[in-house]
Protein backbone atom coordinates (compact mmCIF):
# COMPACT_ATOMS: atom_id res chain seq x y z
CA UNK A 1 0.00 0.00 0.00
CA UNK A 2 1.40 3.39 -0.99
CA UNK A 3 0.10 6.76 0.14
CA UNK A 4 0.98 9.63 -2.17
CA UNK A 5 -0.48 12.42 -4.27
CA UNK A 6 -2.97 11.53 -7.03
CA UNK A 7 -1.39 11.13 -10.47
CA UNK A 8 -3.36 11.77 -13.69
CA UNK A 9 -3.38 8.14 -14.86
CA UNK A 10 -4.19 6.50 -11.51
CA UNK A 11 -6.80 3.73 -11.91
CA UNK A 12 -9.86 4.80 -9.96
CA UNK A 13 -12.82 3.90 -12.17
CA UNK A 14 -13.81 0.99 -9.89
CA UNK A 15 -13.61 2.90 -6.61
CA UNK A 16 -16.66 2.14 -4.44
CA UNK A 17 -17.08 3.29 -0.82
CA UNK A 18 -20.85 2.95 -0.36
CA UNK A 19 -21.59 6.62 -1.08
CA UNK A 20 -22.04 7.41 -4.81
CA UNK A 21 -21.18 11.08 -4.29
CA UNK A 22 -17.73 10.18 -2.94
CA UNK A 23 -17.28 7.56 -5.70
CA UNK A 24 -18.14 10.09 -8.42
CA UNK A 25 -15.75 12.63 -6.98
CA UNK A 26 -12.64 10.46 -7.16
CA UNK A 27 -13.62 8.92 -10.50
CA UNK A 28 -14.56 12.12 -12.36
CA UNK A 29 -13.62 15.30 -10.53
CA UNK A 30 -10.55 14.89 -8.33
CA UNK A 31 -8.25 15.03 -11.37
CA UNK A 32 -9.85 18.25 -12.67
CA UNK A 33 -9.58 19.82 -9.21
CA UNK A 34 -5.91 19.03 -8.99
CA UNK A 35 -4.51 19.19 -12.52
CA UNK A 36 -6.78 21.63 -14.39
CA UNK A 37 -8.19 24.07 -11.83
CA UNK A 38 -5.59 23.76 -9.06
CA UNK A 39 -8.22 24.19 -6.36
CA UNK A 40 -7.28 21.18 -4.27
CA UNK A 41 -5.00 18.18 -3.99
CA UNK A 42 -5.98 14.56 -3.44
CA UNK A 43 -3.87 12.13 -1.46
CA UNK A 44 -4.50 8.55 -2.49
CA UNK A 45 -3.85 5.12 -1.03
CA UNK A 46 -2.87 2.78 -3.87
CA UNK A 47 -2.95 -0.99 -3.62
CA UNK A 48 -2.43 -3.37 -6.51
CA UNK A 49 -2.29 -0.38 -8.96
CA UNK A 50 -5.73 0.83 -7.88
CA UNK A 51 -6.87 3.77 -5.73
CA UNK A 52 -8.48 2.27 -2.60
CA UNK A 53 -8.77 5.39 -0.45
CA UNK A 54 -8.43 9.13 -0.79
CA UNK A 55 -8.41 12.44 1.04
CA UNK A 56 -8.86 15.76 -0.77
CA UNK A 57 -7.51 18.92 0.83
CA UNK A 58 -7.95 22.59 -0.04
CA UNK A 59 -6.42 25.63 1.65
CA UNK A 60 -8.83 28.00 3.37
CA UNK A 61 -9.27 30.48 6.16
CA UNK A 62 -11.65 30.91 9.08
CA UNK A 63 -12.26 33.56 11.71
CA UNK A 64 -10.55 32.67 14.97
CA UNK A 65 -14.04 33.12 16.52
CA UNK A 66 -15.23 30.04 14.66
CA UNK A 67 -12.69 27.81 16.36
CA UNK A 68 -12.92 27.32 20.13
CA UNK A 69 -12.99 29.88 22.92
CA UNK A 70 -9.36 28.95 23.66
CA UNK A 71 -8.28 29.50 20.03
CA UNK A 72 -10.22 32.76 19.91
CA UNK A 73 -8.12 34.06 22.79
CA UNK A 74 -4.84 32.80 21.29
CA UNK A 75 -5.28 33.87 17.67
CA UNK A 76 -5.28 37.30 15.98
CA UNK A 77 -8.61 39.02 15.28
CA UNK A 78 -8.58 38.43 11.53
CA UNK A 79 -9.10 35.33 9.36
CA UNK A 80 -6.43 32.70 9.94
CA UNK A 81 -5.19 30.07 7.46
CA UNK A 82 -6.41 26.48 7.75
CA UNK A 83 -6.28 23.32 5.67
CA UNK A 84 -9.75 21.98 4.87
CA UNK A 85 -10.24 18.23 4.57
CA UNK A 86 -12.87 18.42 1.84
CA UNK A 87 -13.33 14.70 1.10
CA UNK A 88 -12.32 11.44 2.72
CA UNK A 89 -13.36 7.97 1.61
CA UNK A 90 -12.08 4.41 1.73
CA UNK A 91 -13.16 1.66 -0.68
CA UNK A 92 -15.66 -0.69 1.03
CA UNK A 93 -13.29 -3.64 0.66
CA UNK A 94 -10.65 -1.75 2.66
CA UNK A 95 -12.80 -0.11 5.36
CA UNK A 96 -12.20 -0.93 9.03
CA UNK A 97 -8.47 -1.60 8.61
CA UNK A 98 -7.13 1.76 9.74
CA UNK A 99 -6.78 3.27 6.27
CA UNK A 100 -9.09 6.24 6.99
CA UNK A 101 -6.97 7.01 10.03
CA UNK A 102 -3.75 6.75 7.97
CA UNK A 103 -5.11 9.14 5.35
CA UNK A 104 -6.04 11.68 8.02
CA UNK A 105 -2.55 11.37 9.46
CA UNK A 106 -1.14 12.14 6.01
CA UNK A 107 -3.41 15.20 5.81
CA UNK A 108 -1.95 16.39 9.12
CA UNK A 109 1.53 16.09 7.63
CA UNK A 110 0.45 18.22 4.64
CA UNK A 111 -0.93 20.79 7.12
CA UNK A 112 2.34 20.83 9.05
CA UNK A 113 4.26 21.51 5.82
CA UNK A 114 1.78 24.26 4.98
CA UNK A 115 2.29 25.67 8.47
CA UNK A 116 6.04 25.91 7.87
CA UNK A 117 5.81 27.24 4.30
CA UNK A 118 2.75 29.52 4.45
CA UNK A 119 1.10 29.40 7.85
CA UNK A 120 -1.69 27.07 8.97
CA UNK A 121 -3.44 26.93 12.33
CA UNK A 122 -5.70 23.87 12.06
CA UNK A 123 -7.22 21.16 9.89
CA UNK A 124 -10.96 21.60 9.56
CA UNK A 125 -13.66 19.31 8.24
CA UNK A 126 -17.42 19.52 7.71
CA UNK A 127 -18.20 16.04 9.02
CA UNK A 128 -21.42 14.29 8.12
CA UNK A 129 -23.28 13.80 11.41
CA UNK A 130 -22.84 10.03 11.13
CA UNK A 131 -19.05 10.43 10.81
CA UNK A 132 -18.49 12.95 13.61
CA UNK A 133 -17.41 10.22 16.04
CA UNK A 134 -14.78 9.01 13.51
CA UNK A 135 -13.17 12.48 13.60
CA UNK A 136 -13.62 12.80 17.38
CA UNK A 137 -11.62 9.60 17.72
CA UNK A 138 -8.80 11.31 15.82
CA UNK A 139 -8.79 14.34 18.13
CA UNK A 140 -11.06 16.73 16.19
CA UNK A 141 -13.45 18.90 18.19
CA UNK A 142 -16.58 20.80 17.18
CA UNK A 143 -16.18 24.39 15.97
CA UNK A 144 -18.38 27.23 17.22
CA UNK A 145 -21.27 27.55 14.71
CA UNK A 146 -21.33 31.05 13.16
CA UNK A 147 -24.57 32.80 14.18
CA UNK A 148 -25.69 29.48 15.65
CA UNK A 149 -25.82 27.77 12.23
CA UNK A 150 -23.57 25.09 10.75
CA UNK A 151 -21.76 26.16 7.55
CA UNK A 152 -22.93 23.05 5.74
CA UNK A 153 -26.47 21.83 6.49
CA UNK A 154 -26.49 18.42 8.14
CA UNK A 155 -22.75 18.57 8.89
CA UNK A 156 -20.74 19.25 12.03
CA UNK A 157 -17.84 21.65 11.48
CA UNK A 158 -14.84 20.24 13.35
CA UNK A 159 -11.22 21.25 13.77
CA UNK A 160 -7.90 19.92 14.99
CA UNK A 161 -5.44 22.61 16.14
CA UNK A 162 -1.97 21.93 14.74
CA UNK A 163 -0.20 23.15 17.84
CA UNK A 164 -1.62 20.08 19.59
CA UNK A 165 -0.30 17.47 17.14
CA UNK A 166 2.91 19.09 15.83
CA UNK A 167 5.37 16.99 17.84
CA UNK A 168 3.61 13.63 17.52
CA UNK A 169 2.76 13.79 13.81
CA UNK A 170 6.21 14.82 12.66
CA UNK A 171 7.48 11.43 13.77
CA UNK A 172 5.11 9.54 11.42
CA UNK A 173 5.86 8.16 7.97
CA UNK A 174 5.20 9.99 4.71
CA UNK A 175 4.25 8.20 1.52
C1 LIG B 1 -15.56 6.99 7.17
C2 LIG B 1 -14.42 6.21 6.48
C3 LIG B 1 -13.54 7.18 5.70
C4 LIG B 1 -13.59 5.52 7.59
O5 LIG B 1 -12.48 4.83 6.99
P6 LIG B 1 -11.94 3.45 7.57
O7 LIG B 1 -10.68 3.10 6.86
O8 LIG B 1 -13.04 2.44 7.53
O9 LIG B 1 -11.65 3.85 9.09
P10 LIG B 1 -10.49 3.28 10.04
O11 LIG B 1 -10.42 1.80 9.88
O12 LIG B 1 -9.24 4.05 9.86
O13 LIG B 1 -11.11 3.62 11.46
C14 LIG B 1 -10.46 4.48 12.40
C15 LIG B 1 -11.34 4.55 13.63
O16 LIG B 1 -12.61 5.14 13.31
C17 LIG B 1 -13.68 4.26 13.62
N18 LIG B 1 -14.66 4.41 12.53
C19 LIG B 1 -14.58 3.92 11.29
N20 LIG B 1 -15.66 4.29 10.55
C21 LIG B 1 -16.44 5.02 11.38
C22 LIG B 1 -17.69 5.67 11.22
N23 LIG B 1 -18.34 5.65 10.08
N24 LIG B 1 -18.21 6.32 12.30
C25 LIG B 1 -17.54 6.33 13.47
N26 LIG B 1 -16.34 5.75 13.68
C27 LIG B 1 -15.80 5.10 12.65
C28 LIG B 1 -13.05 2.89 13.65
O29 LIG B 1 -13.77 2.02 14.50
C30 LIG B 1 -11.67 3.18 14.20
O31 LIG B 1 -11.71 3.35 15.60
P32 LIG B 1 -10.67 2.56 16.53
O33 LIG B 1 -9.30 2.97 16.10
O34 LIG B 1 -11.05 3.00 17.90
O35 LIG B 1 -10.94 1.12 16.26
C36 LIG B 1 -14.99 5.10 5.56
O37 LIG B 1 -15.85 4.30 6.30
C38 LIG B 1 -15.72 5.62 4.31
O39 LIG B 1 -15.10 5.88 3.30
N40 LIG B 1 -17.06 5.79 4.36
C41 LIG B 1 -17.83 6.23 3.19
C42 LIG B 1 -17.57 7.68 2.76
C43 LIG B 1 -17.74 8.68 3.90
O44 LIG B 1 -18.76 8.66 4.58
N45 LIG B 1 -16.73 9.58 4.12
C46 LIG B 1 -16.68 10.52 5.26
C47 LIG B 1 -17.37 11.80 5.00
S48 LIG B 1 -17.26 12.94 6.37
pLDDT 10s digits, 135-169: 999 999 999 876 666 667 778 899 999 988 776 55
Check if the beta carbon of residue 37 is closer than 8 Å to that of residue 29.
Answer: no
In-domain check, residue 73:
yes
Annotated catalytic residue: which of 29, 54, 94, 135?
135
In-domain check, residue 86:
yes
In-domain check, residue 30:
no
In-domain check, residue 134:
yes
- The closest alpha carbon to 126, from 146, 100, 165, 152, belongs to 152
In-domain check, residue 31:
no
| Position 48 confidence tier, pLDDT thresholds 50, 70, 90 | very high
Better-predicted residue by pLDDT, 170 or 75:
75
Rounded CA-CA distance 73/70 in Å is: 5
In-domain check, residue 160:
yes
Structural domains counted in the chain: 1
Average pLDDT over residues 47-68: 93
- At 125 the three-state DSSP class reads strand
In-domain check, residue 142:
yes
Average pLDDT over residues 92-102: 97
Cα(110) to centroid of ligand 1, in Å?
20
| Position 173 confidence tier, pLDDT thresholds 50, 70, 90 | very low
Atom of ligand 1 nearest to the CA of 95: 8
pLDDT digits (tens, 9 = 90+) for 1-20: 999 999 999 999 999 999 99
| Position 175 confidence tier, pLDDT thresholds 50, 70, 90 | very low
CATH number of the domain enclosing 138: 3.40.630.30
Rounded CA-CA distance 89/91 in Å is: 7
pLDDT digits (tens, 9 = 90+) for 109-132: 999 999 999 999 999 999 988 899
The verdict on the CB of residue 162 being under 6 Å from ligand 1 is no
The verdict on the CB of residue 165 being under 6 Å from ligand 1 is no
- Closest residue (by CA) to atom 18 of ligand 1? 134
Note down the domain range covering 161: 52-170
In-domain check, residue 148:
yes
pLDDT at 150: 64
Burial 61-100 (b: 16+ CB within 10 A, else e): ebebebbbeebeeebeeeebbbbbbbbbbbbeebeeeebb
Cα(97) to centroid of ligand 1, in Å?
9
The least confident of 58-62, 68-72, 100-104, 169-173 is 169-173
pLDDT at 148: 60
The verdict on the CB of residue 85 being under 6 Å from ligand 1 is no
Contacts of 81 (CB under 8 A, 6+ apart): 59, 60, 61, 114, 118, 119, 120, 121
Amino acid sequence: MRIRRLQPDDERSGFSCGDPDFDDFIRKYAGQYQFRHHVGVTIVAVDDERVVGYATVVPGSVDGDELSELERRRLPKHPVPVLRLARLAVDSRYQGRGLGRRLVREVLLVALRMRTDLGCTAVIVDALKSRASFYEGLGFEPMVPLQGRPRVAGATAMFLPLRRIAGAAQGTETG
